[in-house]
Amino acid sequence: MLPETKMVNVRQAVEKLYKGLCTVTEYQAYTKPNKATGYHEVEVLNDQPCRLSFSTIPAAEPTGSGASVQQTVKLFVAPELDIKPGSKITVTQNGVTADYCRTGEPAVYATHQEITLELWKGWA
């Protein structure tokens, strides 16, 4: 385990790599005036510094029209942020804005967390 001052230095170094901003939106229940339950989008985090990382992975099985390639998208954010599964994550980086959703459990480290994303397809 690193001493606290070294951990702070490592975290600052990681955060210098953040080139984007993300907004996290959840689909939350609310009670309508007629007592029925409705759902609406609620921004729970806004303009959080982040970084997207992209990597390509060749598919294990070639398709009839040639080998397919998959892209893996990973979001790097502060470790204390709580991003729930199924949340919509809007990321702006390098002048490009796209919507994603969290697909699995994050890898949480002392200096950051890594969350695998996929393109947003809508609320489940």
- 24-67 pLDDT tens trace: 999 999 999 999 999 999 999 999 999 999 998 766 666 666 66
Residues 8-20: what's their mean pLDDT?
A: 94
Domains defined along the chain, listed by start:
4-59+66-119 (2.40.10.270)
Q: In this predicted structure, what is the pLDDT of residue 104?
A: 82
Instruction: Give the pLDDT band of residue 3 (cuts 50, 70, 90).
Output: confident
- 80-107 pLDDT tens trace: 999 998 899 999 999 999 999 988 889 9
Q: Which residues are bridge partners to 27 per DSSP?
A: 41
Residues 6-18: what's their mean pLDDT?
A: 92
Only one residue has tokens 């229940």, namely 29
Q: What is the SS3 string spanning 13-64?
A: HHHCCCCEEEEEEEEEEEECCCCCEEEEEEEEEEEEEEEEEEEEEECCCCEC
Q: In this predicted structure, what is the pLDDT of residue 97?
A: 97
Q: In this predicted structure, what is the pLDDT of residue 103?
A: 81
Q: In this predicted structure, what is the pLDDT of residue 90?
A: 97
